Each structure stands twice: as C-alpha cells, then as structure tokens.
Amino acid sequence: MNWPAVTVIYRQEMARFRRTILQSFVSPVLSTSLYFVVFGTAIGSRIPTIEGNSYGAFIVPGLIMLSVMTQSLSNASFAIYFPKFVGSVYEVLSAPVGVAEIVLGYVGAAATKSLFIGVVILGTAALFVDLTIAHPGAMLAFLVLTCVAFALMGFIIGLWAGNFEQLQLIPLLIVTPLIFLGGAFYSISMLPPFWQGVSLFNPVVWLISGFRWSFFGAADVPVAASLVAIALFLAVCLGVIAWIFRTGWRLRA
C-alpha cells in the first residue's frame, strides 16, 4: 500500500473542503436546521409521540442520514469527476499509484467530510430537542459505514458521469426520493400493510432503520438485516469500482 499517495490525495480533497466551507459545511447544517424548524416545530406540534419519542427527536436520525447520504454522494462524485473533466486524472493513473490508493484517498476524504457534517448536525439537533442515544457505539458504526458506502456510490457516479448534468442526475432523481420515502420523517409501521411491504424494497429503509435503532432501541426491520444490507451495498460498490478500473470504462476513453 502506497500510503504517501493516499495521504496526498486525502489532504488535497480536505483542502478543497476548507476552501469551500460555506458550500460544503455551512449550507447543509443550515438546511438541516430549517428541517427541524419546519418538521419538528410546525408539523411535530400536531403529531403525537412516535414509538414513545417526540416527533422532533424521532426525525433526528433521518435528518442525519439525509445529510450524510447526500453529502457523501456529492463530495465523492465531484472529487473524481473534476480531475476527469480537466484531464489531471490521467496523471494519477500513470503514476505508481494503485486502485486501492486512489479509492482510499478520494472516498476516505469524502466520507470524512460527511462524517464531520453528521456529527455537527447531531450537535445541532441537541439544541432543538432532548436527545438520548441508546447505543452510541452502534450509532457511530452505522454512521461511518453509511458515509463510506455512499461515498463509494458517489465515486462510481463521478466515474460514470460524462458532464455536470449527469453528475446530478442519479442523486436528484433516484437517491433523494428514495431517502424521503425511506422513513426519514416517519416510521413505515405507520403505513398501510401494502405500502409497508413496498417500502421494504427501498434499500434506504434498511439503513435508516438500523441507525434509528441505535438512538431509540426500536427499528422497523431487524438490526442484523440492516448490517447485512450495508455490507452488501459496500461489496457491490467495491466490485463495480474494481471492474471500472480494470476495464477503463468511462475512464480511459
């Protein structure tokens, strides 16, 4: 493993994060605060407790997942797409740097940014609602795994995208609707039986459910199944990335 190469890529991406701090950090935190004001206060005042928790506290895990997933996607996809756009990625590919080092550098930086934003949003949530975490270790594990998994997916999107419009296509048209329909703001147990069954085909449900369990000790689906879902997601993303670098698809053309 070429650790100096990983360090250079990682530091470069973290430096870009610091240069765009308003867009990369302040904006998602402010957006999440608005969600708390609208959903937690305006709507939450009209909704009784859910699974023994206030509605404002109940939506905290969903809001954190919403921010973490979207930020992981956007950070990782832009991180690899921009070098493709300007042509500097070919210098990286021609250097004595392996696929593992490239993925570790770009994906590690994107996951770190998203993890930092998630922790700050968690702290911001404590200003609005009384919040306790039943399983802190599990919460951190779910948060880190989700950051890495969606950063890998964003890396794939960045490799696939041929222009800036395609870079936003999958996150806006597919991933964001899946997150909103994945139980971020409600429990799927509140849905009619038919729609509960349909929701189980949404992979985001399994991720949010496991993360919410770490807060309140209750989940819509078994926690073990949530871990298996994240593991499968990671494996598929790693397999796709390995195939792309092996074949050069959308990369060396």
* Angle in degrees, CA 35, 70, 203, rounded to 5: 100
Say yes or no to pLDDT of 47 above 80: no
pLDDT at 159: 93
Long-range CB contacts (< 8 A, 24+ apart) of 97-100? 97/2, 97/5, 98/1, 98/2, 99/241, 99/242, 99/245, 100/1
pLDDT at 252: 67
- 3-class SS of residue 55: helix
pLDDT at 186: 87
Say yes or no to pLDDT of 91 above 90: no
Q: What is the mean pLDDT of residues 52-66?
A: 87
Q: What is the mean pLDDT of residues 166-191?
A: 89
Residue 95: pLDDT band (50, 70, 90) is: confident
In angstroms, the CA 172 to CA 48 distance is: 31
Are the C-beta atoms of 207 and 220 separated by less than 8 Å? no
Say yes or no to pLDDT of 253 above 60: no
pLDDT at 151: 96
The rounded percent of the chain whose pLDDT value lies above 70 is 97
Query: What's this model's pTM, rounded to 2 decimal places?
Result: 0.91
Residue 105: pLDDT band (50, 70, 90) is: very high
pLDDT at 215: 95
Phi first, then psi: give them for residue 83, nearest 5 degrees. -60, -35
pLDDT tens profile 113-169? 999 999 988 988 888 788 889 999 999 999 999 999 999 999 999 999 988 888 988
Residue 106: pLDDT band (50, 70, 90) is: very high
Average pLDDT, the chain: 88
- 3-class SS of residue 203: helix
Q: What is the mean pLDDT of residues 213-217?
A: 94
Q: What is the mean pLDDT of residues 217-240?
A: 92
Instruction: Write down the number of H helices and E strands in the chain.
Output: 13, 0
Token pair, residue 101, equals 């080092």
Residue 7: pLDDT band (50, 70, 90) is: very high
- Between 124 and 77, the more confident residue is 77
Q: What is the mean pLDDT of residues 60-74?
A: 91
